[in-house]
Each structure stands twice: as structure tokens, then as C-alpha cells.
A and B are shown apart, each in its own frame.
Chain A
Amino acid sequence: MKTIILKGRPAFGGIAGGEALVCPDSIAGNTGSLGETDGIIYEHGNPNRGKCIKDTILVLPCAKGSCGWSCHFKSAKINGNAPAGWVVTIIDSRIGVAIASLEKPAVCDFAEADPVKIIKTGDWVKIDGSTGIVEITPK
């Protein structure tokens, strides 16, 4: 299968690879929407409800909901359930804190193509947080 390349702004350095977990309407930041210790999405209406963020490349348009957004991801990391990296269409302050706090590679701010529309859950995604290059191998 042909690899697709996207280019975004390098936001946090390092290289990471993993299966994509694409949340077209993001993940709510309110307490209980993401499991504090197990990293499982519990938000009603989220197409990935019941899936764990561990070792995935999280593909999100932006954040939504509580200012506490980042702390649920941080808690998941402390309990061994961190995502491997982030691909974010347009960065916002909530996601910015989470990226800084989890210290995982991240590529953000895609001007030409929206990764949320191009990447599918289960695709293999490799990101370089120092160059902004995202390589997608469809499943």
C-alpha cells in the first residue's frame, strides 16, 4: 500500500510510530471522558468509545471541553497508558499543555491537508516531531 506523506509544524521533537486512533470530534476533557488510569475513552458519542489511547498516534482536530483536558492524558501516562505521539490539525492551548506535559513527539498545524480526514483509525503512522513529517501507511 502506498505511503502518504503530510507536512505540519514540528511541535515536540522525536520520532514515534504506532496505529492511528482518529477522533474526528476530538475527546472531551471533562472528568470521566478519558479513564484516569486505564487511558480508555468513555465519552458517549465518541466513535472510539471503549478504545485505549496507549501506544497509539492520536489524531485529533483540536481539543474540546474542560481546561483539565491535559491532566487526564497525564494521569494515563503516569499509569503506563500514554499515546506514542500526536497529530493535531490546529493546535490550541489545551492540547499544547498535553503535548508539553506528556513529552511525546507531536506534529501540529497542517495548512494544506487535514490529517483527521486523511488518516483512518488503524493506519500505521510514523511522525517526526523535529521535521513535521507524517508518514501514513493505510491498513
Chain B
Amino acid sequence: MVNLTEFEQKMLNGQAGEFKQKALQFIVNYADVLGAKDLCEISRATLFIGAQHYLEGFTTDDYNEIFSKFYLNSDKPIPIGQFDESCAVQTCVAACVTRDFATVHLSKEFFDKNNNFYAITREAGASEVHTCTPYFSGWIPLPGEHFVTTESSNVLLCNSVFGACGNADGIEAAVCSAICGRTPRWGLHIKAERYGNVVFTIQCPSQTSFDWDVIGYTIGRFLPRAGKPVIAGNFKRPDIKKLRQCFSSLATSSNAEICHVVGITPEARTVDDALGGKEPAAYFAITQKDYEDTRRLVCDPGSGPVDFVSIGCPHLAIEEIRDIARYLQGKKVKQGVELWIWTTKSNQALADYNGFTKTIEESGAHLLDSSCPICMKHEAHKHAKAMVLSGIKQAKGLRAQTAATVYCGETLTCIDAAILGRWEAPA
């Protein structure tokens, strides 16, 4: 059984109230499943909550009852109290936009239900931010800081780029951690567990965001179980947006939670540094053939007409919205084609202020906030016959939800498809 401090033991005994008691009980059970020896304090959390589709089996709309049963493992409804006051708690990507719900084919009823659920958790201390890229709106854990997050690409980015400490804890544990302020000290919360053990040498294109999306998915295909990849080789230096793509697809094809990039990320000044001086378990080269194999796995073959284009998985940075607005200036999306561009609520507000939203909307496209087609699920995209998607995670996720043709590629190639109403297979 996990060791608890006196403070934690009192909370587990109920002295901080039933809400925190139940949350800590879950974390203690989770720690025992993992085999953790003790707990550590967390100071940041992003939570995939609201009217998410994993709640669709509930026949009640009583959020207290739903919250207790789903997150706290309690059949008895427990009044929702407060999240941990020293933890920066905010919402992860939502199942619905915060405006324009008709544009994405969702009902007023679902929009209201989602807002009602979020109003309750906002009262409890969870700011409504609604994004899978919280670092674009200031949620940035420092090196050594312990966090929980429900976004898999964010787990990789925070561990690898920011040097912070967190596991891919899942929604129930992340919610309970945000309530009691504790998570099991296990996995990437321990320095000895953070070293890389599989080296990938990049011998394929690494210029564009889509290249890095392909690289991430390919590494995940080859990564052995419990593998912690180290990216080495003569690659073109990526920025945070390219690593965002790499990590989102890596977390789609594998269970990786940290990925060292030699010369870029702080625990990988050299290959030796990333490996902690040990021999790696395996070496792989990512070749042009591997790159093409991945492209064939994520993008249907050939060319053809399209009616649904979605950009921004994970959510876009403000400069990407600027670039898209500039590209769309004076152009028109083909009639009958939907072009959706996804970003954070905060970046949407900035895009409004900068005039980017107006330019995008004038082309017939829509700048949308807080969600994405995967998270909105069938209702939002069931009409689509042929989809074009800029993120491999989105392409793989939607493939499980749709019978439509699914194409996937670089952002501007996807936008060209929306303008032409047609996907042209890359040469």
C-alpha cells in the first residue's frame, strides 16, 4: 500500500470533506495498481470534462450524480466541492464549440447541456479554456513541476520540451488529482524513469509540420513496449508547432509519454545525455520508405472530390491562423465544401481582434474554437462523404467514426483541397 503523509492521511480519513476524501481514495487505489510507493503534489491540471461523449450512456442530466459515479467511483451522489486551490486547473478540449454551434451541426440542447456542466466545474475552480494546446494560452509547467493533463500530446510536450513531470493519467485520475492535489509518484515523476531507451535516426523529410506528423506516427509504429524514444540524426530543427504535430501522432500510434529530441529538448543535450549514459534497447532509422508507408496508412489513395476539410489538430497557434488568413485572402472555398479551422478560445479572440477571423470567414471558411470533429463525434461530421484533415491524430481518430474517404496532408494542401473541392494525390 502506498505511503501517505499525515496531511494525506487526514484527507483520506475525511477531515477535508467527502469530496476530497473520495478523490484521494481513487488516487490511492490508482497508486496501488501502479505499485507506487508514495504521492507527489501537483500544481497544474487540464481536464477533459463537460458533456463529453463518454458520458452518453447516462440517462440522467444531474451532473452531481454523473460526476460522483464517473470520476469519484461513488454510486452515492457527493456534492461537487472545490478543486485544489493551489493547482492551476483548467478544461481540456470540449465536445462542443462555445459559439456557432449550428455551424458544426450540433443542437442547442447539447450546447446548453455542455455549458451547464462547465458552469458547475467553473464554480468549483476549473477555468474554462477548452484546448488541447494549453501552452498557447499560458498553461506552462516549469522543469521539475508535477502536472496532470488529459491531452496525450500535451503529456509528451510538457515532459519533453518543458522538462516538467507527468504521466498520461487518464480522465478519472486527472480529475481526482485536481481535487486532492496529489498523483502517484511513479513513472515520469521519477528522474530515473525519464531517460530515453530507443534511438531513432531521422533519414526522411523533416521540413514541414506534416513531415513531423509522419515522423511521430512512424516512431510510434516502431516503438517497443515501454519505449522512450530519442530522436537523433540529421533532421531540420523543429519549432514547437512541429513538435506538437510529432507528439500528437506519436501518442496516437503508441503509449509514449516522453520523447527526447537531441539538441532541442532540455534532457537531451546529447544522445548520451538523453540515454542517461546507458546503451539503448534498440536503434531504428526512419527512412523515406517508412515515411511513405505511414502516409499510405493515414491517407486514402488516389485523388477525388471532397466536401469536408478540417485544419488544426491539435489547436493552432495565432501565427498559424495569421498565415491561413493571408493564404485565404481573396480566395473562396468551393460551394458545398466545409472548411473548419480549429484553435483555442483565447486565440480565436486574438484572431477576431487582428481581423484574421473576418478574412477567413469572407473566404467561406470558419474559424472555430474549443473542440474538433473527433471530440464532437458523429453528429458534427456524419454528412461528410470525403474528408481532408491536417492532423494524423484527427485522421486516425475519425477513421473509427466514419465511412467517408479520409485524406491527410500539409495544412496549405488541405486548404487547396477546400478551394478546389478536390484532393489531388501528392506526387
Given A11-B33, A97-B172, A31:B53 Cβ within 8 A: yes
Q: How far is the CA of A28 from the CA of B151 in the complex (A)?
A: 14
CB pair A93 B54 closer than 8 Å: no
Q: Do residues A94 and B33 form an inter-chain contact, with CB atoms below 8 A?
A: no
Measured in the bound complex, the distance between the Cα atoms of B250 and A32 in whole Å is 18
Q: Which of A15-23, A36-44, A50-58, A119-127 lines the interface with chain B?
A: A36-44
Q: Mark A74-91, 1 if CB is under 8 A from B, else 0.
A: 110011000000000111
Please give me the residue from chain B that is nearest to A11 by CB atom. Answer: B33
Partner pick for B54 among A9, A36, A99, A100, CB 8 A cutoff:
A36
Give chain B's interface secondary structure class: helix
Task: Give per-residue flags for B51-66: 1 if the beta carbon is below 8 A from chain A beta carbons, else 0.
Answer: 0111111100000000
Chain B 412-423 interface mask (CB, 8 Å, partner A; 1/0): 000000000000
Q: Which 3 A-B residue pairs are closest in the complex by CB-CB distance?
A: A97-B170, A93-B167, A70-B170
**B169 adjacent to chain A (CB < 8 Å):** yes
B279 to chain A, nearest CB (A): 20
Interface CB pairs A-B, < 8 A, 28: A26-B255, A28-B396, A30-B400, A32-B397, A33-B397, A61-B225, A62-B225, A64-B253, A66-B152, A67-B155, A67-B168, A67-B251, A68-B54, A70-B170, A71-B171, A78-B58, A91-B35, A92-B257, A93-B168, A93-B170, A93-B187, A96-B33, A97-B171, A99-B33, A100-B33, A100-B173, A101-B26, A101-B173
- Asked if A97 and B169 sit within 8 Å, CB to CB, the answer is yes
- Name the contact of B48 in the complex, choosing from A11, A64, A67 (C-beta under 8 A): A67
> A94–B172 Cα gap in the complex (Å)?
10
Asked if residues A78 and B57 are in contact (CB atoms below 8 Å), the reply is yes
Q: When the two chains form their complex, are residues B255 and A78 in contact, meaning their CB atoms are under 8 A apart?
A: no
Nearest CB of chain A from residue B227's CB, rounded to whole Å = 10
State whether A36 touches B57 (Cβ < 8 A).
yes
Q: Which residue of the partner chain B has the closest CB to A76?
A: B57
- Whether A91 pairs with B69 at a CB distance below 8 angstroms is no
Chain A hits for B169, CB < 8 A: 67, 93-94, 97
Q: Report the Cα distance A63→B254, complex, angstroms.
A: 8
Known A31-B377, A33-B400, A42-B400; contact A67-B252, beta-carbon cutoff 8 A: no
Q: A66-B152, A67-B149, A93-B170 are in contact. Are A43 and B400 (CB under 8 A)?
A: yes
Task: Chain B residues near A103: list those with CB within 8 A.
Answer: 29, 73
Give the docked Cα–Cα distance between A66 and B48 (Å). Answer: 11
User: Which B residues lie within 8 Å of A28 (CB)?
Assistant: 252, 396, 400
The count of residues in chain B whose C-beta lies closer than 8 Å to any C-beta of chain A is 52
Tell me if A106 counts as interface (CB < 8 A to partner B): yes
Q: How far is the CB of B104 from chain A (nearest CB, A)?
A: 15
With contacts A67-B149, A67-B155, A94-B168 known, is A31 near B396, CB below 8 A?
no
A71 and B172 contact, CB distance less than 8 A: yes
Question: Any chain A CB within 8 A of the CB of B9?
Answer: no
Residues of B1-45 at the interface with A, using a CB-CB cut-off of 8 Å, are 26, 29-30, 32-35
* A97–B155 touching, CB < 8 Å: no
Q: Which residues of A contact B56 (CB under 8 A)?
A: 36-37, 75
- Would you call B70 and A30 a contact (CB within 8 A)? no
CB-contact partner of A36 in B53, B155, B174, under 8 A: B53
A7 at the interface (CB under 8 A from B): no
User: Are B57 and A75 in contact (CB-based, < 8 A)?
Assistant: yes
| B34 in contact with A91 (CB, 8 Å) | yes
B113 to chain A, nearest CB (A): 16
Q: Point out the residues of chain B lying under 8 angstroms from A68, CB to CB.
A: 48, 54, 150, 170-171
CB-contact partner of A100 in B26, B226, B375, B377, under 8 A: B26
With A and B bound together, what is the CA distance between A31 and B23 in angstroms? 25
Contact B400 A70 (CB under 8 A): no
Asked if A100 and B255 make an inter-chain contact with CB atoms under 8 angstroms apart, the answer reads no
A67-B149, A75-B54 as given contacts; A32 in contact with B401, CB under 8 Å: yes
Q: Which of B70, B252, B377 is close to A78, meaning CB atoms less than 8 Å apart?
A: B70
Interchain CA distance A11-B174 in the complex, whole Å: 20
> Nearest residue in A to B256 (C-beta to C-beta)?
A64
